[in-house]
Chains A and B, each alone.
Chain A
Amino acid sequence: MKLMKALLTATAMTFAVAGAAQAKTLVYCSEGSPEGFDPAPWTAGTSFDASSRTIYNRLIEFAPGSTETVPGLAESWETSDDGMEITFHLRQGVKFHTTPYFTPTRDFNADDVIFSFMRQLDKSSPWYEYAPGIAWEYFDSTGMATAIKEIVRVDDHTVKFVLTRADATILATFPMDFASIVSKEYADQLDAAGTRERFNTHPVGTGAFTFVDYQQDAVIRYQAFADYWDGKQPIDDLIFAITVDPGVRQQKLVAGECDIIPYPNPADIEGMKANPDLTVMQQEGFNIGYLAYNTRQAPFDKPEVRRALNKAINKQAIIDAVFQGTGQAAVAPLPPTSWGYNDQLVDDPYDPAAARAELEAAGVSGLKMKVWAMPVQRPYNPNARRMAELIQADFAAIGVEVEIVSMEWGEYLAQSSALDRDGAVLLGWTGDNADPDNFLAVLLGCDGVGSNNRAQWCHQPYEDLIQKAKTTFDQEERKKLYDEAQVIFKQEAPWATIAHSIVTMPMRNSVQNFKQDPLGIHRFVGVDKSE
C-alpha cells in the first residue's frame, strides 16, 4: 500500500519535473525542521516560514519588507465607531491549491474565514484538538480568544468580527501567522475520511506556493501556484533544504548548493561580504535584548543605582565580542524599525568612573549581585553566557562582584519571573506583531509583574500612558503616548537595554527582489532568480 502510494507520487512527480524542463528553482537553506504545516498551533518562526508564509494567506498582510499592512484575502475592512466590530470584505475568485490529495470545488469564501478562527476558539469543535495535544498558543496569548465574542457571516464575501472590548491592538494580530486562512472544504473532506491529522502534514492553502513533499529533517519542496490570485510567482520551484548548522549553511551557499540562507555565523559575515558571488543584506531585527534588574529587590529598587550600573556596561564591547558586529546598541525598549520607536532618546554613556561615584552617592558599596544568563541562543542574544562574562568584568571594574547563574531553559523562564528573584536577568523579546504595545505593555506593564515583566516594574505614570495608547485608535496620537512612555522608561531604568540584533541574509547574486522582513520571517513571494 505504502509502496503503491509512493509510486503514484513518483508518477505525479515525473510529470511535474518533465513539464518544467527549464524550471527556475530557488533553494533556501533553512535553519530547522518545521513542527508542522498548519500554521496556527505552532510558535516557531521556522514553522511559519515553511507554512503560513508560503502556503497560506491572511485577511490582512504585511507589505513585503515592511510592517505596513496591505489587503490580503480581505480587500477592505472597517472598524465600527465604538471599536467593537470589525467588518472584512473578502476578495472574490481566490482559488485553493489543487494537490494529489485535494481538489477544491469552490472558491474561497466566508465559511473558510469563520472556520479558520472558530477551530481555535470553539472548544466543542472536533478541530479544536484534532491531533493529540494540539493547542492554539498564539490565538490564546495574543488575547484573541477573549477578544472575539462572535464571528458573523454577513454574506458569502463579508464577515463581521464582534469583539468583547474596544482594543486598538487587535487589528495588528490579523496579519499574524495563526490567523492564516485554511480551507473548510478540505477540513470537511478529512472529517469524512477520519484523517484529521493530515491537515497538519498535507496542507492546502491559497498562498503563492503549493506544498509538494516533505522529507523529515531534510527537504521541503513547493511549487509555484499557477492560479494564485496575485499572479504566478516568477520562480517555479521553491526548496527548503534544512541545514541546522550555520557553518554548513554558509559553506553550501558558497558552493552554490543554496541560493539564500538565514542566520549565518557572525564570524563568517565579513568573508561573505568580500565574496563577489554573494550579496549580504542586513537589517535591524525586530527584537530587544536586555538585562532586567529586580526592581523589588534592594538596592535595585533605587533608580539611581540602576542608572549607575547601566553606565558601567560597555555595550560596544558586547556588540563586538558577543554579536561579532551583528548587533546594535539598544537605547529604547523597542526596536528602531517599529513605528513607535522614539529616536530622540539618549543612551546612558559608558562611564565607569561616574558609575562608581554614583553608586557611592547612593550609599552602595561592596555590592554583590547575581546575573542570570540564559542557556540557549536567541536572536536577541547569540551567547548569553559570554555576555554575562563581559558584564561581570565590567561590574568588577566598579567594585561590584557578580556571580553568574544559569539553569535549564524552561526553569530559567519560570524562575526568572518570580517576584523575589535574586539578581538581574538577561533576557529579550522578539515582536509577535508590529504593534509597539507588544513590547511596551507586555514587557513593562503592571499586568506583567510576576510573568513577562522580568524587572517586576510597575510605575504608574508609565502604566497610564500605555493603557491610554491601547484604546487610542489614531496612530499619530498613540505614537506621542509611546514616545513619552519611553522617556519615562529611560529615566527609571528598570532595564539595561543591551542590543538589537542585526539580521543578516546572505544570498547568491542571482537572487532578485528578496526583501528582508522586519519581523524576521522569511518570505519568497515575488522573489526571482536570474540565470
Chain B
Amino acid sequence: MLRFALSRLLLVVPTFVGITLIAFLFIRILPGDPVLLMAGERGVSPERHAELMAQFGFDKPMWRQYVDYIGQLLQGNFGHSFSTKRPVLEEFMARFPATLELALCAIVLATVLGVAAGILAAVKRGSWIDQATMGTALVGYSMPIFWWALLLIILFSTSLGWTPVSGRIALTHYFPSVTGFMLVDSLLSGRPGAFASAVHHLVLPTIVLATIPLAVIARQTRSAMLEVLGEVYMMTARSKGLSPSRVIGLHALRNALIPVVTTIGLQVSVLMGGAILTETIFSWPGIGKWMIDSISRRDYQVVQGGLLLIAAMVMLVNLTVDLLYGLVNPRVRHV
C-alpha cells in the first residue's frame, strides 16, 4: 500500500510542475493588455504604459518571468491582483469559503438523493419507478444548468417569491465572518433567524449546482447496485435466508459504494465548472465568479494564481480518491 501511495504521489509532482508551466504560458499568450483595459476610453501615454508594464515585470524575458514566478510560489506568494493590488492568495481565501460551502451543500444533496434514487431504481428494476427515476436522471444529466437556474429564479423567486434572488444572507443580519461559512457563522452569531436566512439563500444555488452530480450519482449507483446484486455471493446471501432489506443494505450497498465514492470524488471538477455558472447567476461571492471577472479584466496574476489553486485542489481530491480506492480495492494496487 505504501509503495502504491508513494508512486501516486510521485506522479503528482511532475503534473503540478506542468500545471504551473501551463498556467504561466496561458497568461503570457493571452491577448489584451491589462494597462489599456484599466485606462479605458481615457487611454494612456506610451511612456506611462511602458512604466506600468515594467512595474509588473512584463518587460523581462519570458524564462526570467517564469523563474521569478516559481521562486515566488515557493515562498507562498501568488502575486498581486492587477485590479485591486492585493495579494492573490488573500483574495482567493476571502472567496473560497463561499464556493466551498455551496459545493459541499451541493455534493451532500447530490449524494444523499442520488444514492437513494439509485438504490430504489436498482431494487425496483424495470418498474415504473425505475423508469421515472432514470428518465429524470437523464434529463438532469442533459440540463444546461445556466438555463435551469434562470427557470428556477423565474418560478421560485420572481413569480412565487419563495426564495431570495441572490446573496448569501439577508442584509439585516450582520455579524463578522469567523469561519467564512455562512451556515456556521450565522449559528455562532446567535442572532435569531440568521441561520434560517442563510439556508434560505442557499437553496436555489445548491439545487442548481447539485443537478448534474445528482443525476450522475443516481445512474452510477443504480448500475453499480445492479452489478453487485447479480453477483454470485449475493445469491449465496439470499440463499442463506437473509431478508431482502438486509441483503441490500449490508452486502450489496457496501460493495456497490466503491465505484460510487469514486464518482463522487470525480464530481469535484464538475462542481468547480458548475460553480462558474451558478455563482455568476446567483451573484454568489465565490471563486467561480471571481475567475470569470478576472479573465474579462485580463487580471493576469489572478487568472494564473486562480488556475493553479483550483487545479491543485482538483488534483488533491483526485489523489485522495485514488488512494482511497487503492485502500478498499487491493487489486488495483498491482495493476
Q: How far is the CB of A258 from chain B (nearest CB, A)?
A: 9
B331 at the interface (CB under 8 A from A): no
A530 at the interface (CB under 8 A from B): no
B176 at the interface (CB under 8 A from A): yes
Report whether B171 and A219 are in contact in the complex, using a CB–CB cutoff of 8 Å.
Answer: yes
Q: How far is the CB of B28 from chain A (nearest CB, A)?
A: 15
Closest to B164 in A: A257
Closest to B172 in A: A25
Q: How far is the CA of A315 from the CA of B174 in the complex (A)?
A: 48
Report whether B86 and A217 are in contact in the complex, using a CB–CB cutoff of 8 Å.
Answer: no
* Total interface residues in chain A, CB < 8 Å: 58
- Could you say which of B33, B55, B167 contacts A410, with CB atoms under 8 Å apart? B33
Q: How far is the CA of A252 from the CA of B161 in the complex (A)?
A: 10
A321 at the interface (CB under 8 A from B): no
A406 at the interface (CB under 8 A from B): no
Q: Which residues of A contact B168 (CB under 8 A)?
A: 218
| Known interface pairs A248-B166, A427-B41; A411-B283 also in contact (CB < 8 Å) | no
Q: How far is the CA of A363 from the CA of B117 in the complex (A)?
A: 75
Report whether A245 and B283 are in contact in the complex, using a CB–CB cutoff of 8 Å.
Answer: yes
A242 at the interface (CB under 8 A from B): yes
Q: How far is the CA of A245 from the CA of B33 in the complex (A)?
A: 26
Q: How far is the CA of A6 from the CA of B33 in the complex (A)?
A: 38
Q: How far is the CB of B292 from chain A (nearest CB, A)?
A: 10
Q: How far is the CB of B134 from chain A (nearest CB, A)?
A: 35
| Listed residue (A201, A221, A408) with the most chain B CB atoms within 10 angstroms of its CB | A408
Report whether A6 and B283 are in contact in the complex, using a CB–CB cutoff of 8 Å.
Answer: no
Report whether B95 and A414 are in contact in the complex, using a CB–CB cutoff of 8 Å.
Answer: no
Q: How far is the CA of A327 from the CA of B121 in the complex (A)?
A: 57
A239 at the interface (CB under 8 A from B): yes
| Known interface pairs A239-B171, A243-B166; A409-B37 also in contact (CB < 8 Å) | yes
Q: How far is the CB of B7 from chain A (nearest CB, A)?
A: 38
Report whether A133 and B55 are in contact in the complex, using a CB–CB cutoff of 8 Å.
Answer: yes
Report whether A13 and B86 are in contact in the complex, using a CB–CB cutoff of 8 Å.
Answer: no
Q: Which residues of B contact A133 (CB under 8 A)?
A: 52, 55-56, 80, 82, 85
> Digit string of B34-59 for contact with A (CB within 8 Å is 1, else 0)?
10111111111000100010011000
Closest to A239 in B: B171
State the main secondary structure of chain B at its contact with A.
Answer: loop
| Listed residue (A43, A218, A219) with the most chain B CB atoms within 10 angstroms of its CB | A218
Q: How far is the CB of B227 from chain A (nearest CB, A)?
A: 45
Closest to A408 in B: B32
Q: How far is the CA of A133 from the CA of B41 in the complex (A)?
A: 20
Q: Which of B113-169 contact A (CB under 8 A)?
A: 153, 157-158, 161, 164-168
> Digit string of A201-213 for contact with B (CB within 8 Å is 1, else 0)?
1000000000001
B219 at the interface (CB under 8 A from A): no
> Digit string of A432-443 for contact with B (CB within 8 Å is 1, else 0)?
100000000000
Closest to A130 in B: B85
Q: How far is the CA of A242 from the CA of B283 in the complex (A)?
A: 8
Q: Which of A249-270 contact B (CB under 8 A)?
A: 251-252, 255, 257
Q: Which residues of B contact A432 (CB under 8 A)?
A: 42
Q: Which residues of B contact A413 (CB under 8 A)?
A: 36-37, 39-41, 43
A154 at the interface (CB under 8 A from B): no
Q: Which residues of B contact A248 (CB under 8 A)?
A: 165-166, 283
Report whether A414 and B285 are in contact in the complex, using a CB–CB cutoff of 8 Å.
Answer: no
Report whether A408 and B95 are in contact in the complex, using a CB–CB cutoff of 8 Å.
Answer: no
Size band of the interface chain B makes with A: 35 or more
A521 at the interface (CB under 8 A from B): no
Q: Which residues of A contact B195 (CB under 8 A)?
A: none
Q: How far is the CB of B129 from chain A (nearest CB, A)?
A: 37
A35 at the interface (CB under 8 A from B): yes
Closest to B170 in A: A257
Q: Which residues of B contact A241 (CB under 8 A)?
A: 167, 171
Q: How far is the CB of B40 from chain A (nearest CB, A)?
A: 7
Interface with B: A134-142, A227-235, A298-306, which one?
Answer: A134-142
| Known interface pairs A137-B39, A257-B164, A409-B32; A197-B174 also in contact (CB < 8 Å) | no
Report whether B33 and A218 are in contact in the complex, using a CB–CB cutoff of 8 Å.
Answer: no
A451 at the interface (CB under 8 A from B): yes
Q: How far is the CB of B293 from chain A (nearest CB, A)?
A: 8
| Listed residue (B33, B55, B176) with the most chain A CB atoms within 10 angstroms of its CB | B176
B31 at the interface (CB under 8 A from A): yes
> Digit string of A97-120 for contact with B (CB within 8 Å is 1, else 0)?
000000000000000000000000
B289 at the interface (CB under 8 A from A): yes
Q: How far is the CA of A25 from the CA of B174 in the complex (A)?
A: 12
Q: How far is the CA of A432 from the CA of B95 in the complex (A)?
A: 32
Q: Which residues of A contact B318 (CB under 8 A)?
A: none
Q: How far is the CB of A17 from chain B (nearest CB, A)?
A: 7
Q: Which residues of B contact A141 (CB under 8 A)?
A: 39, 42-44
Report whether A213 and B32 are in contact in the complex, using a CB–CB cutoff of 8 Å.
Answer: no
Report whether B290 and A201 are in contact in the complex, using a CB–CB cutoff of 8 Å.
Answer: no
Q: Which residues of B contact A252 (CB under 8 A)?
A: 164-166
Q: Which of A177-231 contact B (CB under 8 A)?
A: 197, 200-201, 213, 215-219, 221
Q: Which residues of A contact B290 (CB under 8 A)?
A: 217
Q: Which of B12-43 contact A (CB under 8 A)?
A: 31-34, 36-43
Report whether A43 and B283 are in contact in the complex, using a CB–CB cutoff of 8 Å.
Answer: no
Q: Which residues of A contact B255 (CB under 8 A)?
A: none
Q: How far is the CA of A452 from the CA of B36 in the complex (A)?
A: 13
Q: Which residues of B contact A9 (CB under 8 A)?
A: 176
B175 at the interface (CB under 8 A from A): yes
Q: How far is the CA of A255 from the CA of B158 in the complex (A)?
A: 9
| Listed residue (B157, B165, B177) with the most chain A CB atoms within 10 angstroms of its CB | B165
Q: How far is the CB of B54 from chain A (nearest CB, A)?
A: 11
Q: How far is the CA of A243 from the CA of B189 in the complex (A)?
A: 24
Q: How far is the CA of A7 from the CA of B86 in the complex (A)?
A: 24
> Digit string of B49-82 for contact with A (CB within 8 Å is 1, else 0)?
0001001100000000000000000000000101
Q: Which residues of A contact B166 (CB under 8 A)?
A: 243, 245, 248, 252
Q: Which residues of B contact A197 (CB under 8 A)?
A: 85-86
A27 at the interface (CB under 8 A from B): yes
A63 at the interface (CB under 8 A from B): no
Q: Which residues of B contact A137 (CB under 8 A)?
A: 38-39, 42, 44
Q: Which residues of B contact A452 (CB under 8 A)?
A: 41-43
A417 at the interface (CB under 8 A from B): yes
Q: How far is the CA of A200 from the CA of B85 in the complex (A)?
A: 9
Q: Which of B278-314 contact A (CB under 8 A)?
A: 281, 283, 285, 289-290, 298
Would you give 11 A-B contacts (Cβ < 8 Å), ordered by A? A7-B176, A10-B189, A17-B174, A133-B55, A137-B42, A200-B85, A217-B289, A218-B168, A242-B283, A252-B166, A410-B33
What 6 pairs between A and B have smallest CB-CB spacing? A217-B285, A410-B36, A216-B94, A131-B85, A410-B32, A218-B285
* Interface residues in chain B, defined as those with a beta carbon under 8 Å from any beta carbon in chain A: 31-34, 36-44, 48, 52, 55-56, 80, 82-86, 91, 94-95, 153, 157-158, 161, 164-168, 170-172, 174-178, 189, 281, 283, 285, 289-290, 298
List 9 additional A-B contacts (Cβ < 8 Å) besides A6-B176, A257-B164, A408-B32: A3-B178, A27-B171, A36-B85, A213-B174, A217-B290, A245-B166, A251-B157, A411-B33, A417-B43
